[in-house]
Amino acid sequence: MGEQGQRLDSLAEAVRPHVETRWGLFAGSNIFGSIGEEHEVRGPSARDPMVTLAAGANMPVPPLYRGNSKQEKRDFMDSYMVYKRRVDALNQGTQTQVFGMPIGACIEQSILVRFCRFELFKPKVTVTEEDWKRYFLDAWNPDFTA
């Protein structure tokens, strides 16, 4: 090998710790960090309880709220109720637990801050699930100002 081959070998040795750090968990062996300390990979029995993330055609998809009119709020709540019923039905028949998305997580991120600030009059961090329920259930009250 010539000089170019030696450079490639030295480059491969320099990259190897990074690759082992990144993909070492899949191999199930010890991995070495960039500083050189050894990290132990815990086996399945040493970990916290497993959480299975399932996705597919049979899993219910939460609705996404993008509007601001009362009719759009009603439509969103109707579709959210259908979603919630599907999640509840999946949780009844099996030993697994399907997580239902909260209402606050079903609002489009680009309009979430605006809703919190100008319609709920609260910072985004302090808005609770009950606040979102009240906000959407307010759409069922008739508006006689026309």
Output the six-digit token pair for 134. Answer: 């009240």
Average pLDDT over residues 74-82: 91
5 vs 112 pLDDT, higher one: 112
Output the six-digit token pair for 17. Answer: 């710790």
Residue 30 confidence class, pLDDT cut points 50, 70, 90: very low
Q: Give the integer Cα–Cα distance in Å for 138 and 73.
A: 9
Which pLDDT score, from 0 to 100, does residue 79 have?
A: 92
Residue 70 confidence class, pLDDT cut points 50, 70, 90: confident
Q: Give the integer Cα–Cα distance in Å for 69 and 66.
A: 10
Considering the entire predicted model, what is its pTM? 0.58
25 vs 7 pLDDT, higher one: 7
Range 35-71 burial, b when 16+ CB lie within 10 A, else e: eeeeeeeeeeeeeeeeeeeeeeeeebebbebeeeeee
In the chain, what are the domain boundaries?
3-39, 70-140
Average pLDDT over residues 115-122: 89
For residues 64 and 108, the answer to whether their CB atoms sit within 8 Å is yes
